[in-house]
Amino acid sequence: MPDTTVRWGVIGPGRIANRFAECLTAVPGARLVAAASRDAERARDFVARHGGERHHGDYASLFRDDGVDAIYVATPHAQHADVAIQALQAGKAVLCEKPLTVNAPQAERVFAAAKAADRFVMEAFWTRFLPVFAQVRRWLDEGRVGKVTGIESFFGYAQPRNLDDRLFRADLAGGALLDVGIYCISMSHHLFKGPLRVLETSATVGATGVDEDLRARIAVGELAVELRMHASMTQKFYNSFRIEGSEGEILVTEPFWDSGQAILLRRGEAPVASHAPYVVNGFEYQVREVQRCMQAGLLQSDVVPWADTLAVMRCMDEIRAAVGVRYPFE
């Protein structure tokens, strides 16, 4: 790999991959080289739109492309594990959309493949890198809200009810938990670390066998701070992330997973707002981290370490088991 350039390939050139490609202009040394899709025209259009050099009509051709150093995986959830493992075995670094896999055993396979290939892999949990959450952590470290007593997080939207859409398909690992609830859990774990213990959960499971609406109470970290979360594909919420404390609270405003504003509310004091706009669209921070780790010869990032991905995945496995959601390929 050149000392200062990371040549990127993309698998699954859809909506989220467009956002990835757009952010590369803000990452020194990042260059989009190629894209692959089972629909060759889709890959061709993506490369033309974003200034890439070539396209591939199958994934294997991209794995064999010697001009690619790292691959961004943006396929449906159910394909993540196999695609990531094949990319790692081909000698590529991997940034794979969240959830990294659909269950913990699959994630363990991915990390084993990364170790065997001596290649970097990271779940693309871009929200962990946003400047607004760095400010939230500073306020917590300074004790600005006193003793933390709880977390409340909502992620809900009214998805059009198309049962052929990936979100409603069990064979593609659809459902509210893996698509949006993961943000509530992962960001809580990011801020408070430690074990995740499911206290209570309930869900509305639709005709296709996926969780369409899900609630959970989860103890987070050594202090067992309670997360109360609600994830939904059928209801639109004010999608905030709120940390409650003995002396006040911190509110990451809607939509919290893509927010540029946090508000510190201390009792008896005027609110303090922190604004943290992006350079491009927020994806640039995770790409910078991948390239930093690659240049340093690291296999994982300390912002989204493998242990964190596994902890969150095991928690979600436990929740799915409790509400009776199992994918047909498991």
Q: Is 98 a catalytic residue?
A: yes
Task: Decide: helix, strand or coil at residue 72.
Answer: strand
Please answer whether residues 284 and 273 qualify as being in contact, where contact means their C-beta atoms are separated by less than 8 angstroms.
no
The Cα 25–Cα 208 span in angstroms is 40
Write the burial class of residue 147 (CB in 10 Å: 0-12 exposed, 13-18 middle, 19+ buried): exposed
Q: What is the DSSP string of 290-310?
A: HHHHHHHT-SS-SSS-HHHHH
| Residues 6 or more apart whose Cβ sits within 8 Å of residue 127 | 133, 183, 186, 187, 256, 257, 258
Catalytic residue among 92, 98, 115, 147: 98
Farthest-apart Cα atoms in the chain, separation: 62
Task: Decide: helix, strand or coil at residue 90.
Answer: coil
CB atoms within 10 A of CB 143: 12
Q: What is the DSSP string of 126-166?
A: GGGG-HHHHHHHHHHHTTTT-SEEEEEEEEE------TTSG
Q: Which residues pair with 265 in a beta bridge?
A: 249
The Cα 10–Cα 202 span in angstroms is 36
The residues that are catalytic are 98
